[in-house]
């Protein structure tokens, strides 16, 4: 009976350790940023935020038009 619990605890501990390793990586080492310079990352993020804001504005305009 206790072996199953021991396995779950070991699995949780391994997952936590993997998450901590991922957190400790610098931005340049993370998978989505490989090969990009700081300026390129900033540009990519700015473009994404502009798109996100544009979609938000469109939804707000549609909601206002329905009222």
Give the predicted TM-score (pTM) of the model. 0.54
C-beta separation of 18 from 4 below 8 A: no
> Any residues with CB less than 8 A from the CB of 33 and at least 6 apart, and which?
27, 41
Cα Rg of the chain (Å, integer): 21
The closest alpha carbon to 44, from 62, 25, 52, belongs to: 52
pLDDT category at 11 given cuts 50, 70, 90 is very high
CA distance 39 to 33: 11
**Residues 12-41: tens digit of each pLDDT:** 999 999 998 888 887 777 777 888 889 999
Q: What is the pLDDT of residue 55?
A: 96
Q: Where are the domains of the chain?
A: 1-34, 36-66
* Residue with the two structure tokens 């993997």: 18
């Amino acid at each position: 009976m206790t072996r199953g619990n021991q396995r779950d605890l070991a699995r949780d501990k391994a997952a936590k350790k993997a998450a901590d390793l991922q957190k400790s990586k610098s931005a340049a080492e993370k998978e989505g940023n490989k090969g990009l310079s700081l300026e390129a990352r900033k540009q990519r993020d700015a473009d994404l935020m502009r798109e996100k804001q544009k979609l938000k504005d469109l939804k707000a305009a549609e909601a206002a038009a329905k009222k």
